Amino acid sequence: MSMPIRVLMITSGYPEPGRPHTQQFVKRQAEFLRAAGVEVDVFDFRGRQKLRHYVTGWTWVRSRLGAGRYDLVHAQFGQSGLLALPKRLPLVVTLRGDDLQGIIDDVDGRIGLKGRILQRISQWVASHADSVIVVSEHMRALLGPVVPVHTIPSGLDFALFRLIPRAEARRHLGLPLDKRLVLWVGRPTEPRKRFPLAQRAMELLNQSLPAELIVGWGVLHADMPYYMNACDALVFTSMQEGSPNAVKEALACNLPVVSVAVGDVSLRLRGVSECELCPDDRPDTIAAGLERVLRRTQRSNGRDSLKDLDEAALTAKVIDVYRSVLTNGSRR
């Protein structure tokens, strides 16, 4: 019987008391890896842009790696990979969006100094890794020919994001049964999410079709499927994404999606009924898409389109990356 692969997973975000919905996809991946027989220890590291935090984290990681407990390091997000360099063990890095694309500072889409530094760090870490995972195909072009790159999107918890009767979902959340409800998910103050664009689109929509905007922020993760099932459409306005989980979660609940073209959304909506991919980012275009969807009053067939997001199958792909790295050895 072969020995299990032993992995130290370093991540810059992980659910914790007070932030239970933060980076759920990282926690879920670790859990599925363990279920598949991989031994995973998670180091939740918060650099907070402070050099001393990175030094402390780097020292802790070096002491763990020197004890011979692990076969490889898996860094979630580019900045986390700094703690594994110079390499003592093979390094796999997953880049998830802002780390490679840069952090947008304002509604005009400008990437500030911190965002550019994060981009450079992620590109540099990727160039020293033994294998890189990106969550959407369009992110490959941002790396160039550095090391082996694999596209493995974040999976979904289909047992959680399930189909719930709309009336039941609305009663659970205390939402009105007789109104059209449009869901927007994200932190309203985050510039790249463009909450004001969603608000303006809703103002225009209400000139011809009454509807209420529901903001999905600061809610329990376990309640998010109820919001997805309670509402009549998801409006998605982000200017930059990797592979947005909100869109995939909406599709898993057969919630119609009206979205700008961002990340891999165009791929996700291809062939899905009752959804609208907006040809531009103008509020009147988004409002028109919402009106068409809301007037049809139908659910989508999104759940049927997500077979490639089965977490067990995606976990097997991650393990294949691990095995390839361990077989080929580390690039020193």
Q: What is the CATH number of the domain that holds 229?
A: 3.40.50.2000
- Are 182 and 95 in the same domain? no
Is residue 131 domain-resident?
yes
Is residue 32 domain-resident?
yes
pLDDT in tens, the chain (332 residues): 478 999 999 998 766 655 655 678 899 899 999 999 999 999 988 766 677 888 888 999 998 898 889 999 999 999 999 999 999 999 999 998 788 777 777 666 777 878 888 889 999 999 999 999 999 888 888 887 767 899 999 888 899 999 999 999 999 999 999 999 999 999 999 999 999 999 999 999 999 999 999 999 988 889 999 999 999 999 999 998 988 999 999 999 999 999 999 989 999 999 999 999 999 999 999 999 999 999 999 999 999 999 999 999 999 999 999 999 999 876 65
Is residue 160 domain-resident?
no
Chain-centroid distance, C-alpha 146: 23
Is residue 103 domain-resident?
yes
- Are 257 and 300 in the same domain? yes
Enclosing domain of residue 245: 166-307
- Are 12 and 45 in the same domain? yes
Q: Is the dihedral of CA 287, 191, 153, 150 positive or negative?
A: positive
Q: Are 146 and 126 in contact (CB under 8 A)?
A: yes
Give 288-294 contacts, CB < 8 A, sequence gap 24+: 289/258, 290/182, 290/201, 290/202, 290/205, 290/211, 290/233, 290/235, 290/258, 291/205, 291/208, 291/209, 293/232, 293/233, 293/256, 293/258, 294/180, 294/182, 294/205, 294/209, 294/211, 294/232, 294/233
Q: What is the structure's pLDDT at 30?
A: 94
DSSP H helices, 36-186, are 51-65, 98-101, 113-128, 166-173
Chain-centroid distance, C-alpha 12: 13
Is residue 161 domain-resident?
no
Instruction: Decide: helix, strand or coil at residue 182.
Output: strand
Residue 2, both tokens: 């072969």
pTM over 0.75: yes
- Are 116 and 237 in the same domain? no
Is residue 292 domain-resident?
yes
Helices 24-35/311-328 angle, 10° precision: 70
pLDDT tens-digit readout, 320-332 = 999 999 998 766 5
- Are 89 and 128 in the same domain? yes
Distance CA 204, CA 146 (A): 46
CB-count exposure of residue 236 (10 Å: 0-12, 13-18, 19+): buried
Q: Are 52 and 64 in contact (CB under 8 A)?
A: no
- Are 137 and 180 in the same domain? no
**Among 194, 229, 193, 233, residue whose Cα is nearest residue 213:** 233
- Are 21 and 114 in the same domain? yes
Is residue 1 domain-resident?
no
- Are 91 and 190 in the same domain? no
Is residue 214 domain-resident?
yes
- Are 143 and 198 in the same domain? no
CB-count exposure of residue 86 (10 Å: 0-12, 13-18, 19+): exposed
Distance CA 165, CA 144 (A): 46
- Are 222 and 114 in the same domain? no
If one counts the domains in the chain, the total is 2
CB atoms within 10 A of CB 64: 18
- Are 194 and 277 in the same domain? yes
DSSP code string of 54-86: HHHHHHHHHHHHTTT--SEEEEESGGGGGGG-S
